[in-house]
Amino acid sequence: MTDSQPHASSQPAPPVELLVKDGCHLCADALAVVDEVCGRLGVAWRSVDVARHPDLAERHAEEIPVLLVDGVQRDFWRIDPDRLERLLTADRA
The residues spanned by each domain of the chain are 16-92
Residue 58 has pLDDT above 50, yes or no: yes
- pLDDT at position 14 is 74
First to last CA, the chain: 35
Secondary-structure class of domain 16-92 per CATH: alpha beta
Residue 6 has pLDDT above 50, yes or no: no
> CA 82, 66, 84 angle in degrees (round to 5)?
15
Residue 92 has pLDDT above 90, yes or no: no
- pLDDT at position 1 is 46
Residue from 59, 64, 62, 72 nearest 47 by CA: 64
- pLDDT at position 90 is 83
Confidence of residue 61 (pLDDT cuts 50, 70, 90): confident
Q: Which helix (H) or strand (E) holds 69?
A: strand 66-69
